[in-house]
Amino acid sequence: MSVPELSPILWRGSARDGELRLLDQRLLPGQEQWVSCKTIDQVAQAIREMVVRGAPAIGITAAYGMVVAAQDGERRQLAGAARRGHLESARRALAATRPTAVNLFWVLEQCRARCEEDVTLEQLLHWARQIHDADVEGNRRMGVIGADRLSQGMGVLTHCNAGALATGGVGTAIGVLTTAHRQGKNIHVYVDETRPRLQGARLTAWELSREGIPYTLICDGMAASLMSRGRIQACIVGADRIAANGDVANKVGTYGVAVNAHYHEIPFYVAAPVSTFDLQTPGGDHIPIEERAASEVTQWGTEQVSPEGAVVYNPAFDVTPNRLVAAIFTEIGEISPVNARSIAKLLSPR
């Protein structure tokens, strides 16, 4: 029996009266609660506090967020320069939420031109829906391209959550795994719990359970040992930003997975849409890495687990150098080897 597709981002109703609803990912898997965002501040807060998270999902939410901002402008009867100024400050509020996932800035850049041209509410909603739909279709294509690299009976390790909750569709890395599973390849997924926010334990494990994909949840520190025992034949993760040379920013801990995979001669793959590439950033050293609150590390839920005053370093992402990445799967093809030339070749306008 197939399960209903998961969709963590919904627009309900018309451009004028509709509303943006987000599945609150902070509460999963225990509770399925939806949050309504009626102001741009609520949308920005939902992104910052990770009600919605994952690079493509943040971008899609920002697109609908601009519709929310335009609705507010309409209610206040703003027109001309006042309306443009209002939309520009909404764009800035969204840009200030999370710095690493480039999909957010890709969406906001597209929006800039539209807002300068006095776009209507209906046109804005149409554009946001197009961004959402394109991600659904992109996930599907990327899944087919990536699944080609996975063979019967493989053990595949993934880190963080790059599934339906992080995108508009079936997911990037999890989309590849889901496609391989649906093709009957009998894969087994090893899920890193992904400290500190536990996206693997809470979200990826939940998605895989829903889809009936066999998996084993492990603590992050277990992966190298499983590789040495021959249980893992491939690793696949998503990405928050890929520099022009193919260096990949993704959830903190990804670099460690890639180094361990290299040592054990296991291919390390990345699945990401074209909107995750940042050709203006030459290499990983230039990617802005978000640092989050110390409490994410010092607390387990609401319980304090470290001594009062513990000094914490909590970057949300790390960078994996291109030489450790065997291939990147996108919706328009595979990149391998991963370097500036192969990326430019696939992404250059045809």
Per the annotation, the verdict on 240 as an active-site residue is: yes
Q: Can residue 160 be called a binding residue for ligand MRU (CB under 6 A)?
A: yes
CA distances from 95 to 48, 59, 105, 332 (A): 10, 10, 7, 27
Catalytic residue of the set 240, 247, 278, 318: 240
What is the spatial distance between Cα 189 and Cα 179, in angstroms, rounded to a whole number?
13
Q: Residue 227 Cβ, how far from ligand MRU at the closest point, in Å? A: 20
Q: What is the maximum span of the chain, computed from C-alpha positions, in angstroms?
A: 65
Of residues 93, 111, 218, 316, which one binds ligand MRU by CB under 6 A? 316
Q: Can residue 251 be called a binding residue for ligand MRU (CB under 6 A)?
A: yes
The continuous run of DSSP H or E covering 141 comes out as helix 121-147
What is the spatial distance between Cα 304 and Cα 85, in angstroms, rounded to a whole number?
44
Q: Contact letters (x/-) for ligand MRU, 97-126, by CB under 6 A?
A: ----x-------------------------
Of residues 44, 47, 54, 244, which one binds ligand MRU by CB under 6 A? 54
Specify the stretch interacting with ligand MRU by CB under 6 A; choose among 47-55, 127-135, 220-228, 277-285.
47-55
Q: Residue 250 Cβ, how far from ligand MRU at the closest point, in Å? A: 5
Total interface residues for ligand MRU by CB under 6 A: 18
Which parts of 170-229 interact with ligand MRU (CB under 6 A)? 172, 199
How many degrees, rounded to 5, is the angle at CA 297 between CA 292 and CA 302?
105
Of residues 131, 205, 239, 319, which one binds ligand MRU by CB under 6 A? 239
Q: Residue 285 Cβ, how far from ligand MRU at the closest point, in Å? A: 19
Q: Residue 180 Cβ, how far from ligand MRU at the closest point, in Å? A: 17
Closest residue to ligand MRU, based on beta-carbon distance: 238
Q: Residue 122 Cβ, how far from ligand MRU at the closest point, in Å? A: 29
The continuous run of DSSP H or E covering 69 comes out as helix 55-75
Q: Which residues contact 319 (CB under 8 A, 6 or more apart)?
A: 247, 248, 249, 255, 284, 285, 287, 289
Angle between helices 80-95 and 102-116 (to 10 degrees): 180
What is the spatial distance between Cα 229 and Cα 222, in angstroms, rounded to a whole number?
11
Pick between residue 53 and residue 181 the one whose CB is nearest to ligand MRU: 53
In terms of Cα–Cα distance, which of 261, 263, 246, 248 is closest to 335? Answer: 246
What is the spatial distance between Cα 207 and Cα 174, in angstroms, rounded to a whole number?
9
Q: Residue 174 Cβ, how far from ligand MRU at the closest point, in Å? A: 8
Q: Can residue 53 be called a binding residue for ligand MRU (CB under 6 A)?
A: yes
Residues contributing to the site for ligand MRU (CB under 6 A): 53-56, 101, 160, 162, 166-167, 172, 199, 237-240, 250-251, 316
User: Which residues participate in catalysis according to the annotation?
Assistant: 240
